[in-house]
Chains A and B, each alone.
Chain A
Amino acid sequence: MILRTRNENGILIAEILLKEASLAQADQLKEEMIILIDSEPKNLLVDFTMVEYVDSSFLGAMVSSLKYAVARHTDISVINLEKDIYDLFTLIRLDKVFKIYADKAEATAELNKK
């Protein structure tokens, strides 16, 4: 397992348990994300607290999980991105497809408004 999940106030939070998130774990991530999305949560928060580095293959798996989620009406947001990773998300416009929040508190506040 590379995701540790918990449910807080109706929001499913999946914490990535990796420092380096790369090609070697990309397929595993997608498998685990699909299982989570199949449980049809309205919101899924992916927590990057532990992650120091993401390569494009892992991001690819994140994005293809997102495609899977969109078809099943699950919103995926990401939280706790380190600066380098946040920059990468915005540089390649992934901020347009993932909602990015600073942390769980901000995400919960925003998501509860809806």
Chain B
Amino acid sequence: MPSSHKILLVDDNLLVLEMMSKALDREGFRCMKADSAGQAMELLHKDTPDIILSDYDMPEVNGFVFRQQLMDNPDFRNIPFMFLTSMNNTDLMLEGINMEAIDYIIKDVPIPVIVSKITNVLNTIREQHQRSISELSLAAVALHLDSVPQQLPKVKGFKVDFWHRPFQGYPGGDFIDFIKIDERYTFIVLGDVMGKKWGAWFFSFGFLSYVRAAVRLCLYEGDLSTKSILQKINTVVYHDPVVSEVLSTLTLILVDSENSQVSYSGAGDLPLLYYNHQEGKTSHIQSAGLLLGLREEGDYDEYILKMNNDDQLFAITDGMTDFEAAGRKRSDYFSFEQGIARFLGKPDTFTAIKTSDFLAQKSREQIDDCSLIFLQKAD
């Protein structure tokens, strides 16, 4: 059972509440406890559990009324709900089932049975989710809606690769694009629409279209500066009421194969990590630009970096720096840097990173979309 499953337990009997939560904690669940429907509502406004287990028989607001309140609230209606009861009354059970309660748990049943019941429910729900996601993903593929490339670009004198894991398997807000202009110039685009899952995914296409349009416009005008491109995208986003409420980061890198250099501009993105092979040192390249659409003038700048053989550059989204440890979520850029440090400067750095424990753990602890782009100067 994944340790991250959260259960909201609601029971006015504090002894039952404590015993159940202790037993479920031991089984690897995390319990939120409420001794009344009112308190449960307060907790629900702060956090969303994977499942709710509620007693029927409570003073003031009983389990049925509580269930009805949840069903009336679009935010809570779809949280799986089970009645917890010491009574084995068929009429009551029938009434509960009519309220879309998934099942009943009789309090006297041994804990392992309760655990397996909860686990079964959560597994069934997860399987259904995955089925729906894969159907939607198939539809998206059929419509050629991809927010990450299906192929790696061939860039003369450079190796380019990426790693991307959407949060919980849903297409999300991270987007990646490689725009090859000619044999000399290739743009690398990495963005993160603030939000998760389908909503963010939808907007990622809007942002990708703006990026592509701005690149083409600047190209037409003979201006290949990443700063000018970012400024153009920002102006459009800022003035477009449809996307201006949705914020996005953007990392824009132009690879110039002829001069072995890259230019970089960023909008509210995390710093690039640069490994200088000759010196064996890593450093951060931080741009000055603000999130797209935040202000009309986004303070964009442009950083030019000459890359020598085996120099490496990493661009990431914040999912790479977020993780969950000991039941606590954290966000730490430096943990990413430390995590990949031992692979830097190796002949096959990116393959080693992709198959490393570090990324395996990242996938397990994932709490947001994760994207990592790798660029290496090669002979």
Beta-carbon contacts of A39-55 to B below 8 Å, as 1s and 0s?
Answer: 00000000000001111
**Residue pair B45, A28 in contact (C-beta under 8 Å):** yes
Are B290's CB and A56's CB within 8 A? no
B91: Cβ under 8 A from any A Cβ: no
Known contacts A2-B46, A59-B194, A91-B270; is-contact A84 B288 (Cβ 8 Å)? no
Stretch of A6-14, A19-27, A99-107 on the interface side:
A19-27
Contact A53 B330 (CB under 8 A): yes
Q: Contact check, A84 vs B331: say whether CB atoms are below 8 A apart.
A: yes
Query: Is there a chain B Cβ closer than 8 Å to A38's Cβ?
Result: no
Question: Which secondary structure dominates chain A's binding surface?
Answer: helix
Chain B residues with CB under 8 A of A55? 318, 322, 329, 331, 367-368
A91-B291 contact, Cβ under 8 Å, with A25-B46, A56-B368: no
Residues facing B in A73-95 (CB within 8 A) are 84-85, 87-88, 91-94
Main secondary structure of the interface of B (DSSP, over half): loop
Instruction: Tell me the nearest residue of chain A to B295, going by C-beta.
Output: A97
Chain B residues, Cβ within 8 Å of A67: 294
Contact with A along B245-256 (1 / 0, CB 8 A): 111010000000
- The total of chain B residues at the interface (CB under 8 A) is 37
Number of A interface residues in the complex (CB < 8 A)? 32
Q: Is A18 an interface residue (CB 8 A)?
A: yes
Task: Give the distance to chain A from B215, nearest Cβ to Cβ, in Å.
Answer: 23
A36 at the interface (CB under 8 A from B): no
- Chain A residue numbers with a CB within 8 Å of B331 are 53-55, 84-85, 87-88
Q: Output the nearest chain A residue to B196 by Cβ-Cβ distance.
A: A23
Across the interface, name the chain A residue whose C-beta is closest to B271. Answer: A91
- Which partner residue on chain A sits nearest B291 by CB separation? A63
> Is there contact, CB below 8 Å, between B330 and A84?
yes
Within 8 A of A (CB), among B315-339: 318, 322, 328-334
Of all chain A residues, the one with the shortest Cβ separation from B270 is A91
Decide: A57 near B45, CB < 8 A? Known: A64-B247, A93-B288, A97-B294: no
* Chain B residues numbered 114-162 whose CB sits less than 8 Å from any CB in chain A: none
CB-CB nearest 7 A-B residue pairs: A60-B194, A53-B329, A56-B194, A60-B247, A92-B268, A24-B48, A57-B195
